């Protein structure tokens, strides 16, 4: 039996990258899935390739209504919400802080920080209610970044948003500690996702070497490596860990 057999798992940004890998891994562990992404076509294609019960709802995490509706979808389709992985996010190009366009900065904050706030605002009450009524525990995993626990030159707005995610994670964990809800964050460094590989330029090898020169392991993370950390954080057997930031960063924060 899988670790998440009979459970309902909500994942945002599920059409590619970490989100799609997470959907595959949770499905293999027996979970029913509620998946969301901005790209409805890619979301439908991703869902069609999964061997699991799947409900989908496309939309923009910067719109609070989507977070409300995703929780309602989980409860109406599966009767419970056990795990929420707030994964959807965007990044801006490398540029010094004064060069970042204000409208781009606003969009990064709306998606990467407010999107997580809206998600937890609706996920937490649902999880607390099912704990009170049925003793079903819930867990939230926010996908932050190593840029959320250290400075990130030329990624200043992205780093600020991810620092905010870490702050929300720790604060919510303390608030929910006696209410049956755990909240943790996973903080990857650069990984082999489209969001990262699109930044590499024409010479992928040179671009990858430049991105990873500050990583002791000298390589990008693979999506499955980050998914493994998320599943560890979400595992119901991992019941005494909350409010933590789990750095999956190839050793960056060790130096």
158 is catalytic: yes
Q: CB-based contacts of 120: which residues, under 8 Å, 6+ apart?
A: 84, 86, 140, 142, 168, 172, 183
Of these residues, 18, 26, 158, 190, which one is catalytic? 158
Taking residue 18's Cβ as centre, other Cβ atoms within 10 Å add up to 26
Bridge partners, 191 (sequence order): 221
Cα distances (Å, whole numbers) of residue 57 to 61, 70, 121, 181, 186: 11, 7, 18, 24, 24
Dump the DSSP string for 174-237. Answer: HHHTTTTEEEEEEEE-SBSSHHHHTTS-S-HHHHHHHHTTTSTT-SPBPHHHHHHHHHHHH-TT
Active site residues: 158
């Amino acid at each position: 039996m899988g670790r998440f057999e009979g459970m309902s798992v909500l994942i945002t940004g599920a059409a590619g990258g970490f989100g799609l890998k997470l959907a595959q891994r949770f499905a293999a562990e027996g979970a029913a899935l509620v998946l969301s992404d901005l790209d409805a076509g890619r979301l439908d294609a991703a869902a069609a390739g999964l061997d699991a019960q799947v409900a989908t709802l496309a939309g923009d995490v910067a719109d609070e209504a989507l977070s409300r509706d995703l929780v309602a979808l989980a409860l109406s389709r599966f009767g419970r919400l056990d795990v929420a992985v707030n994964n959807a996010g965007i990044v801006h190009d490398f540029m010094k802080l004064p060069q970042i366009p204000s409208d781009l900065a606003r969009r990064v904050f709306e998606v990467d920080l407010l999107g997580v706030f809206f998600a937890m605002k609706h996920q937490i009450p649902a999880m607390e209610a099912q704990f009170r009524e049925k003793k079903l525990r819930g867990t939230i995993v926010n996908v932050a970044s190593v840029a959320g626990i250290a400075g990130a030159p030329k990624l200043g707005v992205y780093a600020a948003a991810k620092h905010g995610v870490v702050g929300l994670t720790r604060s919510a964990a303390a608030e929910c500690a006696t209410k049956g809800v755990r909240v943790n964050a996973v903080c990857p460094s650069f990984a082999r996702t489209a969001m990262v590989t699109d930044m590499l330029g024409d010479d992928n090898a040179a671009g990858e070497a430049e991105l990873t020169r500050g990583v002791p392991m000298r390589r990008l993370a693979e999506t499955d490596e980050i998914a493994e950390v998320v599943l560890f954080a979400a595992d119901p057997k991992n019941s005494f860990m909350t409010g933590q930031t789990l750095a999956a960063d190839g050793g960056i924060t060790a130096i």
